[in-house]
């Protein structure tokens, strides 16, 4: 949970970051665009470079604020001269190579992650004749997104990963993966998959439901929600499209194995470039898998 440094108003961190990014992009596209009310007092409260790292668009905003001296000002309304320096600071930062490279770097990393994940999935398929595969998305109730901080999300993810070692539900888990994302509608959310020994488990719907319940238990303060791709209804949809890649996957069924690769590779889908995190704890990854 984040608060404004000038008030006790709770801040919707994800929403604010999206607005900052939109403002920076608007200034870059049109430096003379009218800058109506900008809640600098609230937005600046997200600046914590010792604990967090930011996307280049957000860094451009911080640079513009530094150039205009806004970090040293305690007033809410700013002079035109300060705003001019703010805009020029953003334009100067956005002209740097690091800023221009970010999108291509993101695409390169997405491609590398996708190749790594596909190789990982195929290696698991080679080891086991049968795999029970789950795909689950974790998120938060829309009514609670506004009180959520990215640090909370990483804490919740850590709690879920700890269950691998402590909860008997995961005794026969042989592979898993996750990715934290940020969207305009959903805010922060996590995509995950789990592969269990098919010789030990058969009921994928039940396992997914129990894992979902664990998520809801550790995120009770934020009304955690989950979506299972393993319900009979969802599996029927995939089956009709001949794309069923969750549930029981047999190594000898080439179509099912390829569908599994496709289903789990959703975590690194390049079409989701706009789902990246604008802010994250320093040194933390946004994508991972068990080794």
- The DSSP result for 157-178, as a single string, is HHHHHHHHHH-GGGTTEEEEEE
Residue 29: the pLDDT is 95
Mean pLDDT across 116-132 = 97
Are residues 154 and 209 both part of a single domain? yes
> Where does residue 46 rank: exposed (0-12), middle (13-18), buried (19+ CB within 10 A)?
buried
Domain boundary among 95, 129, 156: 95
Residue 220 lies in a domain: yes
First to last CA, the chain: 32
- Average per-residue pLDDT in the chain? 91
**Three-state DSSP state, 50:** coil
**What is the number of structural domains in the chain?**
2
Residue 4: the pLDDT is 41
Mean pLDDT across 14-37 = 93
pLDDT-derived band of residue 1, with 50, 70 and 90 as boundaries? very low
Residue 5: the pLDDT is 44
Are residues 75 and 218 both part of a single domain? no
Residue 102 lies in a domain: no
Token pair for 92: 């100067």
Token pair for 216: 């809801």
Residue 6: the pLDDT is 40
pLDDT-derived band of residue 22, with 50, 70 and 90 as boundaries? very high
pLDDT-derived band of residue 34, with 50, 70 and 90 as boundaries? confident
* Phi and psi, residue 278, nearest 5°: -85, -15
Are residues 66 and 120 both part of a single domain? no
CA–CA separation, 69 vs 218, rounded Å? Answer: 41
User: Can you give the residue range of the structural domain that contains 116?
Assistant: 107-275+282-289
Answer yes or no: are the C-beta atoms of 152 and 222 closer than 8 Å: yes
Residue 77: the pLDDT is 56
């Amino acid at each position: 949970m984040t608060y404004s440094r000038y008030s006790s108003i709770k801040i919707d961190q994800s929403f604010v970051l999206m607005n900052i990014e939109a403002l920076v992009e608007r200034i870059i596209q049109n430096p003379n665009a009218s800058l109506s009310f900008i809640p600098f007092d609230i937005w600046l409260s997200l600046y914590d470079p010792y604990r967090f790292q930011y996307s280049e668009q957000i860094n451009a905003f911080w640079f513009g604020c530094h150039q205009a001296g806004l970090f040293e000002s305690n007033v809410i309304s700013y002079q035109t001269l300060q705003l001019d320096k703010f805009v020029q600071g953003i334009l100067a930062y956005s002209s740097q190579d690091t800023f221009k490279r970010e999108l291509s770097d993101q695409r390169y990393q997405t491609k590398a992650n996708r190749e790594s994940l596909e190789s990982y999935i195929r290696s698991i398929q080679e080891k086991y004749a049968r795999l029970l595969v789950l795909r689950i998305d974790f998120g938060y109730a829309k009514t609670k997104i506004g009180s959520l901080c990215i640090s909370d999300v990483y804490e919740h993810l850590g709690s879920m990963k700890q269950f691998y070692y402590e909860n008997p539900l995961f005794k026969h888990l042989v592979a898993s993966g996750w990715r934290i994302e940020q969207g305009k509608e959903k805010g922060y959310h996590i995509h995950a998959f789990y592969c269990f020994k098919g010789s030990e488990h058969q009921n994928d719907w039940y396992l997914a439901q129990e894992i979902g319940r664990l998520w809801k238990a550790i995120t009770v303060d934020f009304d955690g929600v989950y979506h299972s791709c393993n319900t009979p209804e969802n599996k029927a949809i995939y089956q009709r499209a001949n794309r069923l890649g969750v549930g029981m996957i047999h190594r000898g069924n080439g179509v099912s194995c390829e569908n599994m690769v496709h289903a789990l590779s959703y975590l690194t889908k390049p079409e989701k470039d706009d789902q990246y995190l604008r802010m994250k704890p320093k040194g933390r990854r946004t994508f991972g898998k068990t080794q």
